[in-house]
Amino acid sequence: MIFKQNPPNKTENTETETALFAGGCFWCMQSPFEKLLGVLSVKAGYTGGQGQNPTYQDYAQKGRVEAVQIVYDPQKTSYKELVELFWKQIDPTDKGGQFADRGHGYRSVIFYSDDAQKELAEQSKDALGKSGKFKAPIATEILPATQFYEAEGYHQDYYKTNPERYQAYRKGSGRADYLEKTWGKETEGYQKPSQEELRKTLTPQQYKVTQEAGTEAPFSNEYNENKMPGIYVDIVSGEPLFTSLNKFDSGCGWPSFSKPINQENITQKEDRSLAQTRTEIRSKKADSHLGHVFDDGPGPEGKRFCINSAALKFILLQDLEKEGYGEYKKLFEK
């Protein structure tokens, strides 16, 4: 299962397939699938039930459920992978809804469009039931797909347009805590792309630095002199790493930071190359080589995180919400 930073553009020559899942509140079902490489679009909407043109006010009365329609490239991802990711977004043992959302309209369903999808869904459900992961039986239904109606515009990509409310809802509904307890922290899924894929998506310099622990030239790299406000994320996974608020001019020729955004987003490792012992810094999700940390920085911690520009992608403050990092805007409001 390979994840991406940004959805690829769909071309006229792309042969696509469609998957349809219901997992409770559709706000929480778009983000995980949009990150999957090969997924071209994810729409929130309503399916099942009777009647035409359901709305948010009446879809449940018409017997419909909140669902997401996923259009994907089968050459880059598979229906099986989509189903595996689906299980990690829900409580499959809940018959009466999902988390704080109760009732028929919030139940979990895999809607299949053909016999192949039906067989894969049933096999996956059976395997999950036999895995011992859950004490209660798997309650998720597997039903033939019916017409899908897109939800109102304000429901689409809600996690991007209203990130703070989305995160508060995801937490307050009980979904976030349940999924973390059941599946670990990476409930929205992240699997590092293959080396073949990385060679296609990264520049030679980015690949050398992140995958082969290389070092770019000092002073002439992209972000050494960058003074614009924003955050720096991993070029491979997009995980937030550093903020411009903690960037300083160390004179070493590489971007330097006094601390990471979140210590949990990085790992430290002893590095004995170059006939000396140093502390290497790597990103937690993608395990990208970032640089090294030294004890000659400013502030009470006295740290200097010396990072390769090639390992980073810079997100401007004004673009944080648009790029899905809206929760970090508050760092700049102090």
Please identify every residue annotated as catalytic.
25, 306
* DSSP notation for 12-57: TT---EEEEEEESSTHHHHHHHHTBTTEEEEEEEEESSSSSS--TT
CA–CA gap between residue 35 and residue 314 (Å, rounded): 19
Distance CA 329, CA 321 (A): 8
Check if the beta carbon of residue 32 is closer than 8 Å to that of residue 188.
yes
User: Is residue 87 within 8 Å of 178, Cβ to Cβ?
Assistant: no
Burial 206-237 (b: 16+ CB within 10 A, else e): bbbbbbebbbbeeeebebbeeeeebbbbbbbb
For helices 27-34 and 79-87, the axis angle rounded to 10 degrees is 130
Give Cβ neighbours of residue 136 (< 8 Å, ≥ 6 apart).
Answer: 93
- Start-end of H helices in the chain: 27-34, 79-87, 115-130, 158-161, 163-172, 175-183, 195-201, 204-212
β partners of residue 278: 271
> Which of 90, 287, 53 shows the shortest CA–CA distance to 176?
90
